[in-house]
């Protein structure tokens, strides 16, 4: 008799499983995929979409279509709790879905604890589809006159967002904007000084201001306040802070790591609940902490595919190895990029062309499922 496999999210770590749903269904298992959108957006191309270089259809996968085409069940909804003892997930609308094996690729979010009041005029860089609304609002403001944009964050996300806001307004806006990055104490602090200098040169060369006088303590519509008490006004605010794993695991009482991500062992399996697996940004890998970068989710793909089927069929599990160093390329928004892998560093147009080629190839591979 077949069993019930439930996938929470159709992100990078589940791509190979989604491509091979027919194999699960052919063995008599039921597959349900739960996601708050019919599409999954590739975050690595999100800033490029914001800047107008890509269209939304260029950077998304049609998850619902892929699932239903193969005979699986797609549920449009958001999981808010996992009742592991009863082996069921609870959705935002109160409905429940039972499972025999569960795999979580629930992603991450940008913390909004500093926001006071509503989110009017304030946009987080995730979920990626919200960048379309941000783009529309930026162009609306640019049609009225000169305005100010504040990007809060000091890492790659803030750098890419600021650069691509500049590109969007250069190409489509009737009026320029004063763009400020509130980078805390130091822009790109966890990267080598050579990478930081390249980013500074690119951004400042286009008139983007970098503020490194302290962290932002409070954000409200039209205004942000630093820890020193100094206040700055802004017509548009981007939250580009470091991401945190989905909160559903803590709220469900499941084992979690220091960052709140679902704790998983070398088999990407939750200790204490061997029927629960996970991958991508929402997990904390017990063997070693992993950066929140898509390359690890992509590397987890074949392991999750194998282990989910093995868990359903009673087979042996495969261990996940994070692998060595990975390639990083930042989209600076002006047709250039900054590339880094080990000791290799490159900036300029070639770096962006390499990123664009890799990203489009990745998209083409999995969009072919549609």
pLDDT in tens, the chain (370 residues): 789 999 999 989 999 999 999 999 999 999 999 999 999 999 999 999 999 999 999 999 999 999 999 999 999 999 999 999 999 999 999 999 999 999 999 988 888 888 998 899 999 998 898 999 999 999 999 999 999 999 999 999 999 999 999 999 999 878 889 999 999 999 999 999 999 999 999 999 999 999 999 999 999 999 999 999 999 999 999 999 888 898 899 999 999 999 999 999 999 999 989 999 999 999 999 999 998 888 999 999 999 999 999 999 999 999 999 988 899 999 999 999 999 998 899 999 999 999 999 999 999 988 877 6
Nearest alpha-carbon partner for 56 in 368, 297, 367, 358:
367
Q: Residue 23: helix, strand or coil by DSSP?
A: helix
What's the pLDDT at 231?
A: 96
The answer to pTM > 0.85 is yes
What's the pLDDT at 87?
A: 98
Phi/psi of residue 177, nearest 5 degrees: -130, 150
Per-residue buried b or exposed e for 278-289, using 16+ beta carbons within 10 Å of the residue's own CB: bbbbbbbbbeee
What's the pLDDT at 65?
A: 95
Whole-angstrom distance between the N-terminal and C-terminal Cα of the chain?
29
For CA atoms 115, 118, 122, 127, the dihedral sign is: positive
Domains in the chain and their CATH numbers?
A: 4-109+243-325 (3.50.50.60), 122-241 (3.50.50.60), 327-370 (no CATH)
Beta-carbon contacts of residue 353 (< 8 Å; ≥ 6 apart): 337
Residue 3, token pair as written in the block: 């069993």
What DSSP assignment string belongs to 251-301?
HTT--B-TTSPEEE-TTSEETTEEEEEE-GGGEEETTS---S-HHHHHHHH
Residue found by looking up tokens 């349900």 in the block: 32
Angle between helices 156-172 and 130-142 (to 10 degrees): 50
What's the pLDDT at 296?
A: 93
CA 133 centroid distance within chain:
17
What's the pLDDT at 1?
A: 72
């Amino acid at each position: 008799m077949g069993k019930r496999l439930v996938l929470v999210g159709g992100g990078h770590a589940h791509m190979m499983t989604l491509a091979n749903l027919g194999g699960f269904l052919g063995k008599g298992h039921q597959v349900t995929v739960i996601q708050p959108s019919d599409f999954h957006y590739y975050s690595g191309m999100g800033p490029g979409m914001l800047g107008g270089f890509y269209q939304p259809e260029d950077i998304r996968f049609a998850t619902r279509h892929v699932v239903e085409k193969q005979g699986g069940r797609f549920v449009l909804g958001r999981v808010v709790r996992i009742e592991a003892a009863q082996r069921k997930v609870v959705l935002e609308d109160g409905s429940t879905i039972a499972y025999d094996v569960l795999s979580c690729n629930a992603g991450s979010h940008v913390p909004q604890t500093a926001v006071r009041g509503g989110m009017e005029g304030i946009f987080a860089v995730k979920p990626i589809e919200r960048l379309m609304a941000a783009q529309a609002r930026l162009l609306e403001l640019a049609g009225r006159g000169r305005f100010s944009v504040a990007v809060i964050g000091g890492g790659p996300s803030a750098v890419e967002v600021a650069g691509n806001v500049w590109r969007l307004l250069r190409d489509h806006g009737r009026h320029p904007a004063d763009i400020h990055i509130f980078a805390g104490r130091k822009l790109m602090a966890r990267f080598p000084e050579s990478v930081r200098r390249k980013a500074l040169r690119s951004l400042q060369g286009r008139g983007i201001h970098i503020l490194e006088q302290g962290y932002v303590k409070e954000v409200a519509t039209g205004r942000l306040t630093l820890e020193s008490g100094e206040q700055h006004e802004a017509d548009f605010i981007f939250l580009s802070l470091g991401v945190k794993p989905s909160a559903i695991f803590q709220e469900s009482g499941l084992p979690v790591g220091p960052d709140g991500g679902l704790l998983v062992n070398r088999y990407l399996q939750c200790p204490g609940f061997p029927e629960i697996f996970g991958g991508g940004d929402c997990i904390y890998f017990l063997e070693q902490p992993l950066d929140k970068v898509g390359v690890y989710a992509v590397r987890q793909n074949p392991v999750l595919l194998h282990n989910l089927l093995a868990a359903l069929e009673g087979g042996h599990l495969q261990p996940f190895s994070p692998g060595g160093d990975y390639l990083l390329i930042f989209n600076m928004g002006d047709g250039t990029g900054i590339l880094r892998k080990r000791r290799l560093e490159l900036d300029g147009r070639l770096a962006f062309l390499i990123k664009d080629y890799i990203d489009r190839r990745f998209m083409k591979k999995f969009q072919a499922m549609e």
